[in-house]
Each structure stands twice: as C-alpha cells, then as structure tokens.
Amino acid sequence: MTKCFLGGVVLIAVNVALTIVSWTSTASFNTTFSELPEDSLYTNHITDLYKSANLEESGLNPAVFEKAPLDYRSR
C-alpha cells in the first residue's frame, strides 16, 4: 500500500514539475531601443566631453564620438 501511495505522489510531483517548467509566458518582450532625448544626463555628459576635448576642431563627427564610450561593437 505504501509503494502504491508513494508512486502516486511521485507521479503527481513529476507531472506538476513538468507543467511548471514547460509553462511559457504570454507576455511579449519586444523591447525597442529609442534615441536618447536631447536633455538626458548621458547626452549632456557626452556633449560636454566632446566640447572640452575640442574634437569639433579636429573634425570628429559628434555621432561617432557618442558611440565611443559605449563601444561601437555593442550596438
């Protein structure tokens, strides 16, 4: 009798575990990245760095410099 009861408990536990593991969320994770607003702290910091290093005089495009601190390959 104990073997039958224990077997039933194990089967129920396995069934519940497989149900929980195979459950998928219906939530959508479509994350889109948008441009930073002009007044964000990051944008202001990058602009200040660009100006203080006189990179405009050297002909460096500000759009290129914005990508430098984040590493261009991480896009």
8 domain-assigned: no
Model pLDDT, residue 65: 84
11 domain-assigned: no
Model pLDDT, residue 39: 74
> Domain range spanning residue 69?
36-75
66 domain-assigned: yes
55 domain-assigned: yes
What does the pLDDT look like over 54-68, one tens digit per residue? 888 888 888 888 877
Name the domain count of the chain: 1
Note the pTM of the prediction, 2 decimals: 0.43
What does the pLDDT look like over 1-52, one tens digit per residue? 677 888 888 889 888 887 777 766 666 556 565 666 767 888 888 888 889 9
18 domain-assigned: no
27 domain-assigned: no
16 domain-assigned: no
63 domain-assigned: yes
Is the pLDDT reported for residue 72 higher than 60?
Answer: no
Residue 69 near residue 47 (C-beta atoms within 8 A): no
